[in-house]
Amino acid sequence: MQIIPAIDIIDGKCVRLTQGDYAQKTVYNENPLEVAKEFEGAGLSRLHLVDLDGAKAGAVKNWKVLEAIAGNTNLVIDFGGGIKKEEDVNIVFNSGAALATIGSLAVKNEPLFVEWLKKFGAHKFLLGADVKEEKIAVGGWLETTDIWIYDFIAKYAAHGVKQLFCTDVSKDGKLEGPSVELYKNIITKFPQLFFIASGGVSSLQDLEELKAIGCSGAIVGKAIYEGRITLGQLGPKSTL
């Protein structure tokens, strides 16, 4: 199972939010490149980079941070937050991201996302699904739709999407453990996907449980920054 550390960016700094709330913000490091280099130094090969300013503004803002990390590390970076227009997609790829992360746009503007999948290739996108009680949530999680998570995944898997991460919004940033049952159901229904667990990981035990149910990857954020999981436990020598 691939461990994918997360860096969330506000004002060019590495932060974490609790349950997506900008008022519940902790700044962990003024220099995200420093953090990314630590991850790479520990033997991790991927990075989940989120532009929270971009997500709020509806346009990519922190592409300079992406450019700096992509230019100074060999990490495989997926970048999301504010990708609403083709211009944003181009900025993200030109700045060095391997994958563009698409979440609410896939819910709100299916024709546009499908167009991008055809134009750039489905392998260039990481689909993000925020979920509340098996229904898709959008708009900073304030709005729950009536779209069933399994229908959502099936639709985009049919368009060639290979990688998906799913966040249970009731768990994110709370270090209460991941939504194992939900993930187990998704993996059973879509065994062909590279499925990435996201949200709630608080310990090595959580990661071992996610590996046991067949997750291809797990995004880890707050647990690393709060010292509950050390980078030494996640590197190449780890059993995960």
For the stretch 12-30, what's the b/e string if a residue is b when 16 or more beta carbons lie within 10 angstroms of its beta carbon?
A: ebbbbbeebeeeeeeebee
CA-wise closest residue to 73 among 49, 55, 52, 90: 49
CA-wise closest residue to 4 among 47, 42, 38: 47
**In terms of C-beta density within 10 A (0-12 exposed, 13-18 middle, 19 or more buried), how is residue 43 classed?**
middle
Residue 89 CA to residue 74 CA, distance in Å, equals 21
Determine which one of 8, 53, 88, 172 is catalytic.
Answer: 8
For the stretch 135-173, what's the b/e string if a residue is b when 16 or more beta carbons lie within 10 angstroms of its beta carbon?
A: ebbbebbeebeebebeebbeebbeeebebbbbbbbbbbb
Determine which one of 51, 53, 78, 130 is catalytic.
Answer: 130
Active site residue 130: yes
Residue 43 CA to residue 61 CA, distance in Å, equals 29
Active site residue 21: no
Residues designated catalytic: 8, 130
